[in-house]
Amino acid sequence: MKKLNIQRYLKLLEIYVEDGNIPKYLEQLREQHPFESGDDPLMDYLVRLLENGKIRQLIGTSRLKKKVFYSSAGRFITECVHQLKFQNQRAWTEHHNIERMMEWSDEKRQMEWRSVLQQVDEKHRNDGFDTTFLQQMFGSADGATKQENWDRLAFDWEKALQYNHHKKEKDFIGMKSVNFETGLFKTLDTVQHHVEKEKISEEQALQAWDMMDGRWTQTEFEKQLKLVRIQDHYPELEEVVEKMGRFADNAGKERMAIASGKSLKMEHSSGSDIEGVTVGDDLNSLLPIELAQYIDEAMEDLFIYKYRTRRLQTFRYKSESSKQARRLGFAHATRKGPMVVCVDTSASMYGAPQRITTSLLSLMEETAELTKRNLFMIDFSVTTRPIDLMQRRKEKRLIKLGLTKDDYNFERGHVPFIGGGTDSRNMLEQLFELLDEEGGHYVNADVLWVTDFMIPIPQDAYLQRLQSYRDTGTKFYGMRIMPSTEKETYTDWQKYFDHIYRLTYQIVRRY
């Protein structure tokens, strides 16, 4: 039976909504899998569907309608693949019977050949299985003992089984495609009409859609839209997301500190940063003459000796005058770099703070996806839980398509509000590890804390290290969410943050 790779079909959808270059992807598939032969009814149907000008006309350039299309078509693919896998499992019994038949003794073959032909004929007489021809072959004097006759029976049986499976696959896809296309066109029309009628911005509509289960219902959409529109009441949410994140960019108007992690590697050093020559074992700063020794087999032993005795000639950088843990350089920057958000999930953040946080995370995820940025979350209270939000976003999207762990290797993620107290030490340790991770993507990230800041101040060692990140360019922002009845007070954390926003909410009392 044909191996069903659901990722292949979903990749086709992704390419369609991104740039529409389907022919190039199909050509890559043929190059990567040159020995795969036979029809693929599902792939054939998808190609015909995506070449339909009506779909491209309905989707246009709208990111919202592209996501709605991807979700609808993705669920159709998942349903088809699951059904075809079920058919494969049913067909496996016959495959197993064919294998067992080929192991029979001559005595058993003499007794069973008529029964086998009758059983196969009943199942596959309409699938090209020629029972009359095989009866003539086996009906001769020694027909039941000839190995070539049994080989021919196994071949014809397998061929009929494959034809039957292929026919069922085409029939199922044809039956499901009618309702799928009707529902798809109706959903795209409904989404467009509702968004235009209610004058909903595409940015907010996108966030509301991503918070749904991947199926359009107006009631659920309006429910999630209420959470998104919290951003209208708190413009600080959008303001802080606009500020966060930078990456090195020669065309950028800003300047940023370029810091490396524990290995002291200078990721963005330039010629003007070189101060002189020294000796040591820093392989990232080798002089060309030392590199020449390394690639010369005759000089290899000398190179290793100089490395072990720390006598290699290396460039000396001005940045070495900074703290050893995080070297500094400077470069032009654009504010589109990685972001880290630390979310307080203690009991004091239930209710309105939780809804505000949900709206903020929705905005951050949408911003990170649009600008192709990394986004990481550490939720903390008594314990901490690190989550790569962009990976979780991808996993949730696949789950909405109906995929299971058998289809895709992923874990479900969520933001738990587990209650309890708040301890910053575990969170800070996790944050420092993330910012220092060698080869990671968060060395120069900006950090946002979402909390009421009712957090005990940790030992000086934590605070000194936090300050060291600020000294090397990391920006720390706070989002302090408090009841409107509480007076604004100074927090001891204030001096360790570039800015702390204060958001207030009304406590609803029920009697």
More confident residue, 76 or 261: 76
Q: At a CB cut-off of 8 Å and minimum separation 6, what does 89 contact?
A: none
Beta-bridged to residue 449, according to DSSP, are 342, 478
Under 8 Å between Cβ of 123 and 42: no
Among 305-319, 326-340, 368-382, whose mean pLDDT is lowest?
326-340
342 SS3 class = strand
More confident residue, 419 or 275: 275
Provide the percentage of residues in the chain whose pLDDT is more than 70.
83
Among 182-196, 286-300, 359-373, 462-476, whose mean pLDDT is lowest?
286-300
Q: Is the pLDDT of residue 216 over 60?
A: yes
The mean pLDDT value for 299-305 works out to 74
The mean pLDDT value for 112-121 works out to 91
More confident residue, 73 or 140: 73
Buried b (16+ CB within 10 A) or exposed e, 27-66: eeeeeeeeeeeeebbbeebbeebbeeeebeebbeebbbbb
Most confident region among 16-25, 203-212, 247-256, 424-433 by mean pLDDT: 203-212
pLDDT (tens digit per residue) in 38-77: 578 898 999 999 888 888 888 888 999 999 999 999 999 9
Mean of pLDDT over the chain: 82
pLDDT (tens digit per residue) in 408-460: 654 444 344 444 455 688 899 889 988 887 556 787 789 999 999 988 899 99
pLDDT value for 162: 87
Q: Is the pLDDT of residue 364 over 90?
A: yes
Nearest-angstrom CA–CA distance, 468 and 483: 33
How far is C-alpha 55 from the geometric centre of its chain's CA atoms? 26
